[in-house]
Chains A and B, each alone.
Chain A
Amino acid sequence: MLSYRSLVAAGLLLIAAVPPLAWWWEASLVRHMLMQIPMLVLAGFLLGTLVAPSPDLGVREERAGGIAAVLLATFCVTFWMIPRWLDAAVASHRVDAIKIMTLVLLAGLPLAWGWPRLGPVARGFVWVQAISMAIVLGLLYLTFPNRLCNSYLVNEQAILGIAMLGIAGFLGLAGAVPVLFGANNGSPAPRHPGARVDP
């Protein structure tokens, strides 16, 4: 029987990857980067949650594997944010197909496998890095005087820049609220202060 998550993943793939809707997303830089790509990653993530085994956080190798998986996902998403390859995906159906497959299989899927295996410090580091890189991209797209992509106009770059800054703000708030005001009651004081811990 199909689960709720697999139905949502299939729906996302249908909306994001199947023409002519896929072409509609790719016709605009903002839609391409901030809607189609996240939808593909999310679809892969949801599929990944169905197939990834439960993490055993007591095993050091599991955590290292988590870092490797998240790094793979990061590199994959970074690659498809390079203007040269965004252009190529618009210009060539083959490249577009590769983009869709890799974002699902090499970004979303590993993220679902790796994220639960990351310790809180590594998660925090990725989160903070995502905020600062969203700001960097926002500044880059807002201020770069020339067209970065052949397929899109300069004014779209400016809109994308503002949107990236908005995403940075959203990520900041989404991270800060639970950290500052979480409802967790905490745990007792350590019995052996000064002892080391594997975060």
Chain B
Amino acid sequence: MVAENPRVFTIDEAGRRIVAANLVVAGAVLLAMMLLGLTMRLGQSGWLEVPPARFYQIMTVHGTGMIGIAALGGITVMWYFLSQYVRLSTHILTANLLLFLIGVVIILTADFIGGFAAGWTILFPLPTHGAVWPAEAAFWHLLGLMLVGAGLLLVALDFGRALIARYGSLGRSHGWPQLFGLSNDPLPPPTVIAGTMVTIVTTLTVIGGASIMVPMMINALNPAFTINPLLAKNVIYFFGHSLANVTIYMAVVVIYELLPLFAGRPYKASRIFVAGWTGSTIMVLIIFPHHLFMDFAMPQWASGMAQVLSFTNSFPAMLVTGFGALALVHRSGIQWSLVSGLLFLSLFGWLAGIVPAVIDATIVVNSVMHNTLWVPGHFHFYMLLGVIPMILAFMLYLTRDRLGRSPEKDSDMWALIVYLGAGLGFVLVFLYSGRHSVPRRWAVHWPEWMVYDRFASVFAALVILAAAFFIVRFLIGLRHFLSGR
């Protein structure tokens, strides 16, 4: 009943090239988006003059870009490890990268030249009735998003094809027959179970996204065609929340695959593991109404369900991955290195990031905290200290830091400490500002709030330096990875 992780990962030359290309793009876009984030915080702190219209364009690009690179980096991590168990297509991963790049160019043009600035959440009718930017800019921004989504859909479908070819159905690759006592076969490996969840959620998410973005594009071209704003908001958050959330489920396999190498123990799939991931598959798709607590027209049952599910959705992550990883590491004599340190940091970022999220998903708290900086605090916790370190750990593992091949230097560990300290400081300033009712999505802050913004700017600059250090190290070592050594 136990599936063990492979000790050696193999990949052919075409696979190495496309994985490297994806990670180079993800690293470059990550740094660019971090610099845009710093620009916003500097603007709010009064240290840099950022015109409000430009601020909101930057905010839109920053949010869209960060979700985009989390998805690109996460799906690359998943592709690499899933390809150890099933046969995946490099052509499809290449098509995804091309669609991503075309989509990014269109989005950047629509936002910085067209002036689109409705935020990454594109909530209807703001994108087409912003009055500040032409409707064509909204049309092109939405088209860019559709292309990025189409690329992700292709990869998800390829995952599904490969999983069905190997296991017979997604139910089997998810471990459902074993979970419900219908089979005594060994469970699929953790990465296969996670890959199945990602396949299901990504496919449904992209269907939802396309279903609402096309009507919004029609609305941009013909304002006489309108859609119900509440329905649009529901579908947008079904798409947006689920997609943002699934990025961590893509990237988390790096913990299942690499942590055992450092700890010298296998990461075991069990029926509890399958149950946890099954719960996540369902809950990730239906907890999105916790973004709509402030919409008075939402049915009460939907809000109540979203609150309860937001609480329970954290249990699978905490119990299965968190507790599982701690048990794996405890008294294992783990080899601490940059990669294992980043992996452990990402685990902390994910699990600790859940706490402010759950607090905000409580209706009575949400009614006073939702439009404050508490909310960026929660998702930066989750992204900056959870998803991004997972992707960075993967990059460094591939290029330099394989076991026994690259002795650690002091500078490596300093970069890790700076990333952790400054990253934690950055998100805590967000949360602290939220606690003091500093609103989010305001280009200009009152002088009383600027002290928070200045601390945040310093922390952000330090985080960017540490991230740049990791990415430069990755780029330096890329030659070794590409040569297959």
Contact = CB atoms under 8 A, between A and B. Distances in A.
Given A124-B157, A190-B85, A197-B87, 15 more contacts: A125-B153, A125-B157, A128-B203, A136-B214, A139-B211, A139-B231, A140-B218, A179-B170, A182-B171, A186-B167, A189-B86, A193-B85, A194-B10, A194-B83, A196-B12
A186 B227 contact: no
B215 interface: yes
Interface in B204-232: 206-208, 210-211, 214-215, 218, 224-228, 231
A196 B10 contact: no
B372 to A, nearest CB: 33
Nearest to A132: B210
Interface string B91-103: 1100000000000
Contacts of B368: none
A41 interface: no
Interface stretch (B158-166, B307-315, B341-349, B392-400): B158-166
Interface of B: 6, 9-12, 14-15, 80, 83-92, 153-154, 157-158, 160-162, 164-172, 203, 206-208, 210-211, 214-215, 218, 224-228, 231
Contacts of B83: 193-195
Contacts of B207: 128, 131-132, 135, 172
22 contacts: A124-B203, A125-B153, A128-B153, A132-B208, A133-B214, A136-B215, A139-B211, A139-B231, A145-B224, A146-B224, A181-B171, A182-B169, A183-B168, A184-B168, A186-B164, A186-B168, A190-B85, A190-B166, A193-B85, A196-B15, A199-B91, A199-B92
B19 to A, nearest CB: 10
A40 B170 CA distance: 34
Given A197-B87, A199-B91, A199-B92, A140 B225 contact: yes
A75 interface: no
**CB-based closest 7 A-B pairs:** A194-B11, A186-B168, A132-B210, A135-B211, A182-B169, A124-B157, A184-B168
A128 to B, nearest CB: 6
Contacts of B210: 129, 132-133, 136
A145 to B, nearest CB: 7
A155 interface: no
Nearest to A135: B211
Interface residues of A, number: 39
Given A121-B157, A128-B157, A193 B6 contact: yes
A195 B167 CA distance: 18
A139 B170 CA distance: 30
Contact of A196 (B88, B168, B206, B226): B88
Nearest to B16: A194
Interface string A117-133: 00111001100110111
Nearest to B80: A194
* A120, A145, A196, A199 — most chain B CB neighbours (10 Å): A196
A121 B169 contact: no
A136 B218 CA distance: 10
A198 B89 contact: yes
B233 to A, nearest CB: 14
Nearest to A191: B87
A190 B84 CA distance: 8
Contact of A182 (B90, B91, B164, B226): B164
Contacts of B84: 193-194
Contacts of A2: none
A143 B212 CA distance: 13
B171 A196 contact: no
B227 A143 contact: yes
A140 B228 CA distance: 11
Contacts of B164: 120, 179, 182, 184, 186
A132 B89 contact: no
Contacts of B88: 196-197
B9 A194 contact: yes
Contacts of B168: 182-186
A192 B10 contact: yes
A187 interface: yes
Nearest to A193: B84
Contacts of B171: 180-182
A35 to B, nearest CB: 24
Contacts of B91: 196, 198-199
Contacts of B211: 132, 135-136, 139
A121 B166 CA distance: 15
Contact of A143 (B86, B89, B154, B228): B228
* B6, B15, B84, B207 — most chain A CB neighbours (10 Å): B207
Nearest to B12: A195
A119 B160 CA distance: 12
Interface string A142-162: 011110000000000000000
Nearest to B163: A186
A44 to B, nearest CB: 27
B206 A143 contact: no
Contacts of A120: 157, 161, 164
B166 A187 contact: yes
Interface in A24-39: none
A133 B211 CA distance: 7
Given A131-B207, A196-B12, A199-B158, A190 B214 contact: no
